[in-house]
Chains A and B, each alone.
Chain A
Amino acid sequence: MTLSIYKRAAVVLMGLFLFTACSEDFLDRQPLDQRVESNFYQTQSDAEEALVAIFDVLTWNTVIGFHPLPMFSDIASDDAFAGGASRNDAPNIIEVDKFNIRTTNGEVQGMWRKYYTGIYRANLYLEKIQGIEASEDFVIRTTAEARFLRAYWYFDLLRVFERVPLLTSTLKAPSEYQQPQAEPEAIYNQIVTDLIAAMEDLPETIPAAENGRPSAWAARALLGRVHLYVNGVYGDNPTAQDGTVVDAAYALARLEEVINNSGHDLMENYADIFARSGEFGVESVWEISYSDARPWYDWGYIQGGEGNIAVQMQGPRVDNPGGEIVDRGWSFAPATQELYDAFEEGDPRRGLTLLEMDEINGSLTIGYQHTGYFTQKYTTSKEYAPADGQPELNWGNNYRDIRFADVLLMAAELGSPNAQAYLDRVRARVGLASVPATLENIMQERRVELALEGHRYWDLLRQGTAAAAAAINVNGPTGDGYQGDDQDFQVTFDESRRGLFPIPQTEIDISNGLYSQNPGY
């Protein structure tokens, strides 16, 4: 024993002193080397980063598997089949084509996760922006952008799944995780509430350096699209929180504002719309930006890059890209003979929409559900060939979501006094003579003008499930170019499911039975 009793007592006392010095500040530390939610949202530049994180989700098409919604909706429609290399290349996508989607379909769950990630980020932004040191203009504009994006994603959720939990704030603790499904009415009312608020605060012009951010016109055009879908499917008009009823007259007035005041117009040449030079052109009212400017290589986390995977998926599987106008794609979403036939003779849009076998010089690996037609719009065309990175993951083709032609046709459909002139404008651009602006003619024009851009399926559903079934059902090959078994080309729309996708089984399991599955599944 070399330590005296005093020394030992001193050690014990020092220990006690250290214990009492453990204040809460000491135990509850902020990491010095990382940014976390509690120390992040401080400055305008922090807010800009958070804003980019919301927009980023727009380009996520590979959360689980490969699930770009515009391509999925065309595959579900009468304009395209699933395709791919073989019957077993992407069974989950074939299920979408054949309306036998399993509730465990990974792609469907991927979409669910995508949308709720976007909505979470928008909600978090809206909660944090008030506490951030930033200019008032910045706060107003970016708040409107977050609400626009939230509405945009809820609209996809409504169309794909219908009854989904409606969250306008983040879930902060596991005790809040059990959220019931909302009725469609609550969801579409929230969508128009957000869009009207966004419309009032979004800028009217977007400088080139800010391309990809929504304008007030994009919000107006989307209101028109939401009205048409809700009115068609539910026979109802969405009502915003402030009592504004988004009925036909209201939607038409907003669309007319886009037509008359926005500065948007039809591009002179239909072919230019989907050219690289046509990105963010005068016709684009709302366009989602993809890019090859940040080369990406990681197959394990594709959405970390900025490429448009739908382009890679829809390109033809050419064997020797060197001699072709396209690079080697994966031959998904082959277009149908019915779409080919929907174009009237002499309509140049047929050739500009469909890539046909005679445009392929060398050999082509024939994939599943081969029809002889591929999309010409979002394809692996050489002018978009990624400059760097893993080629498949870096296609920069922007998705032109709302085009001015769509706005003209929506206004015509809603009974604008200028309906005939609007329809004529769309047709005159491609050298076609006037036809009467009847509902039937307008819907036909929508099909061919907007073909393979992801709108046809929703246009069918809003005409009723019987009309959708009549258009979609097919009982075997219908074109000379089809290759495969008869059963490969058999599609039966299940009216009991009303065109909806199943609520992902995993989500139902985790909800402990709180969610109910969509009818028919």
Chain B
Amino acid sequence: MDVRFWQGKLSVTADYYVKKTLGLLVAAPIPGIVGNNAPTVNGGNVQNSGLEMAFNWRDRVGELRYSVGTNFSYNQNEVTAINNAEGVLIGAGFSTYGTVSRAAVGFPIGYFWGLQTDGLFQNAGEVENYVNAEGDLIQPNAAPGDIRFVDLNNDGMISDADRTIIGNPTPDWTFGFNASAEWRQFDVSVFLQGALGHQLFNGTRRHDLTSSNMPVRFLDRWTGEGTSNDIPRIVASDPNGNFSSISDFYVEDGDFLRVKDVQLGYNLPQSLRQTLGLTQARFYIAVQNLFTFTDYNGFDPEIGARSALDIGIDRGIYPQARSWRFGANIVF
């Protein structure tokens, strides 16, 4: 739907869509005995449905010409069929800890699959009280300061059978905002973009090495009862699998708003241009990635996808640089 109001000062575009992708192309895992790389196959069907809207306003007030616009889209992604007997496609992994992402019917594609956590054991009593119906410890290797994993299927132990969806890397909302204005010889433009409602897998740290650096927030780890309920104690051998288990410990909200581009320009007045014999002369200063608003702890929340089954897994991508540019456009 496209509509315009007030002699085109306001334009509105809205689209509702349901996109069905049949025969999604994926490299599905094959047995090692085949001895060759997995072929790309029609792995399943995916449905994306959502709404895209854009508003643009442009007008003139005296010598000021300006326009503002915004666009946003809401998307829901769901796998509707998987072409194998298991109904599951195994996706990308992290470190040597195993699979992180997978695709299954009824879930968003490439969802994070792992253990749910329920805080940290604060004292020895909490470890000893975390028992199954037979009275056996559910996490026999745990000590105070370790992560309490949820025994989702109530079989009295923590295993792969307790893994569930712990995150969805595909944003619900993506949006952009732009504004520009010209006044006499000056012009200015701003562009912001962001995404909401998705999670990222923060795999930026080598927890398998004892000597690797950790971010500052690990100074606030558990060091005694009541000191932390989310960053576990740090010991060399990790007997409880705090780090070697794929769990929602690694999963963080990926919401962000980024000031992507800001530009300020100045055009030489016509009188001066004529004196200098120039058709056009504009000087500008521009900055990309000026600022990012996010609670995500990795380097950069814009992780992107390596494949349909490897979305939003942050293995320490190189962050986008903030770049300043100064320039001149001169036409003789």
| Max count, chain A CB within 10 A of own CB: residue among B30, B96, B211, B238 | B96
Interface flag for A177 (CB, 8 Å) = yes
Q: List the one stretch of A324-332, A333-341, A397-405, A503-511 in contact with chain B.
A: A503-511
Give a binary string over A485-518; 1 marks a CB under 8 Å from any B CB, 0 the rest: 0000000000000000000101101111000000
A34 at the B interface (CB under 8 A): no
Complex: A78 Cα to B31 Cα, angstroms: 34
Asked if A350 lies at the interface with its beta carbon under 8 angstroms from chain B, I say no
Q: Which of A12-20, A110-118, A126-134 contacts B (4 or more CB under 8 A)?
A: A110-118
* CB pair A507 B210 closer than 8 Å: no
Task: Give the residue name and chain of the A residue nearest to B207 (CB).
Answer: A88
Closest residue on chain B to residue A64 by CB atoms: B96
Nearest residue in B to A92 (C-beta to C-beta)? B96
Query: Which of the 9-residue segments B10-18, B32-40, B72-80, B175-183 touches chain A?
Result: B32-40
CB proximity of A32 to chain B, nearest CB, Å:
21
A184 within 8 A of B: no
Interface presence of A384 (CB below 8 A): no
Is A68 interfacial (CB-CB < 8 Å)?
no
Known: A87-B237, A88-B236, A512-B85. A116 touches B210 (CB 8 A): no
Q: Which residue of B lies closest to A170 (CB)?
A: B35
Does residue A407 face the partner (Cβ distance < 8 Å to B)?
no
Nearest opposing residue in chain B for A90, CB measure: B208
Say if the beta carbon of B98 comes within 8 Å of chain A: yes
Residue on B nearest A57 in the bound complex, by CB: B35
Query: Using Cβ atoms and an 8 Å threshold, which residues of chain B touch A116?
Result: 32-35
**What does DSSP make chain B's interface, helix, strand, loop or mixed?**
loop
A512 contacts B209, CB within 8 Å?
Answer: no
A91 touches B208 (CB 8 A): yes
Given A89-B209, A91-B208, answer yes or no on A510-B31 (Cβ-Cβ < 8 Å). yes
Q: Tell me if A421 is interfacial: C-beta within 8 Å of chain B.
A: no
- Among B34, B208, B209, chain A packs the most CB atoms within 10 A around the CB of B34
Partner of B211, one of A86, A117, A121, A504: A86
Given A88-B236, A106-B96, A119 and B35 touching (CB < 8 A)?
yes
CA separation between A335 and B134, bound complex, in Å? 45
Is B63 an interface residue when CB atoms closer than 8 A count as contact?
A: no
Give complex CA distance A164, B85 in Å: 23
B33 near A171: Cβ-Cβ < 8 Å: yes
Determine whether the beta carbon of B236 is less than 8 Å from that of A87.
yes
Is B2 at the interface (CB under 8 A from chain A)? no
- Bitwise, A56-98 to B at CB < 8 A (1) or not (0) is 0000000001000000000000000000011111011000000
Partner of B33, one of A89, A106, A167, A509: A167
Distance between A517 CB and nearest chain B CB, rounded to angstroms? 14
Residue interface mask B32-62, A partner, CB < 8 A = 1: 1111100000000000000000000000000
User: Contact: B34 with A88, CB < 8 Å?
Assistant: no
Partner of A109, one of B32, B34, B210: B32
Closest chain B residue, CB of each to CB of A124: B35
A165–B290 CA distance with the chains assembled, in angstroms: 58
- Contact of A297 with B by CB under 8 A: no
A residues within 8 A CB of B98? 104
Is B29 within 8 A of A506, CB to CB? Answer: yes
Tell me if A205 counts as interface (CB < 8 A to partner B): no
A154-167 vs B, Cβ < 8 Å mask (1 yes, 0 no): 00000000001101
Q: Is A510 a contact of B209 with CB atoms below 8 Å?
A: no
Say whether B96 contacts A177, CB under 8 Å: no
What residues on B are CB-neighbors of A506 within 8 Å? 29, 32, 90
With A65-B96, A87-B236, A106-B96 known as contacts, the answer to whether A177 contacts B211 (CB < 8 A) is no
Residue A270 CB within 8 A of the other chain: no
Interface-centre pick from B33, B85, B90, B236 (highest chain A CB count, 10 A):
B33
* Interface contact A112-B32, CB-CB below 8 Å: yes
CB-defined interface of B201-228 with A at 8 Å, one 1/0 digit per residue?
0000000111100000000000000000
In contact, A511 and B31 (Cβ under 8 angstroms): yes
* Given A88-B209, A92-B96, A171:B34 Cβ within 8 A: yes
Chain A residues near B31 (CB, 8 Å)? 177-179, 507, 510-511
B29 close to A510 (CB less than 8 A) = yes
- Assess whether B32 is in contact with A512, with CB atoms less than 8 Å apart: no
Whether, in the assembled complex, A99 has its beta carbon less than 8 Å from a beta carbon of chain B, the answer is no
Once the chains bind, are B35 and A121 in contact (CB under 8 Å)?
yes
Interface pair B96/A86, CB less than 8 Å apart: no
A119 to B33 Cα, complex, angstroms? 9
B32 in complex: contacting residue of A87, A106, A178, A504, CB < 8 Å: A504
Most buried by B among A85, A119, A510: A510
Q: Which residues of A contact B35 (CB under 8 A)?
A: 116-121, 123, 170-171
Interface residues of A in 338-389 (CB under 8 A from B): none
Closest approach, in angstroms, between the C-beta of A500 and any C-beta of chain B? Answer: 17
- With known contacts A86-B210, A88-B208, A165–B29 Cβ distance under 8 A: no
Q: Collect the chain B residues with CB atoms within 8 Å of residue A123's CB.
A: 35
Whether the Cβ atoms of B86 and A512 lie closer than 8 Å is yes
Complex: chain B residue closest to A63, CB-CB: B32
Closest Cβ of chain B to A382, distance in Å, is: 27
| Residues of B with C-beta under 8 A to A167 | 33
By beta carbon, the residue of chain A nearest B34 is A171
Please give me the residue from chain A that is nearest to B36 by CB atom.
Answer: A120
> Bound state CA distance, A121 and B37, in angstroms?
12
Considering the chains assembled together, what is the distance between the CA atoms of A167 and B86 in angstroms? 25
CB distance from B123 to the nearest CB of A (A): 25
Q: Nearest residue in B to A166 (C-beta to C-beta)?
A: B33
A28-65 interface (Cβ within 8 A of B) = 65
Q: How far is the CA of A174 from the CA of B30 in the complex (A)?
A: 8
Residues B30 and A177 in contact, CB atoms below 8 Å apart? yes
Per the bound structure, the CA–CA distance linking A267 and B244 in Å amounts to 49
Q: Would you give the shortest CB distance from A396 to chain B, in whole angstroms?
A: 27
CB distance from B32 to the nearest CB of A (A): 5
State which of B34, B85, B237 has its C-beta within 8 Å of the C-beta of A120: B34
Question: Quick one: which of A117, A121, A170, A179 has the most chain B CB within 10 A?
Answer: A117
Binding site for A on B (CB under 8 A): 29-36, 85-86, 90, 96, 98, 208-211, 236-238, 244
Q: Can you list 15 A-B contacts (CB < 8 A)?
A: A87-B210, A88-B209, A112-B32, A117-B36, A120-B34, A120-B35, A123-B35, A171-B33, A177-B30, A177-B31, A177-B33, A504-B32, A507-B31, A507-B33, A512-B85
Leading 8 A-B pairs by shortest Cβ distance: A120-B35, A116-B35, A88-B210, A113-B32, A106-B96, A117-B35, A116-B33, A112-B32
7 extra interchain contacts, Cβ-Cβ under 8 A, other than A88-B210, A116-B32?
A: A85-B209, A86-B211, A87-B210, A113-B32, A116-B35, A165-B33, A179-B33
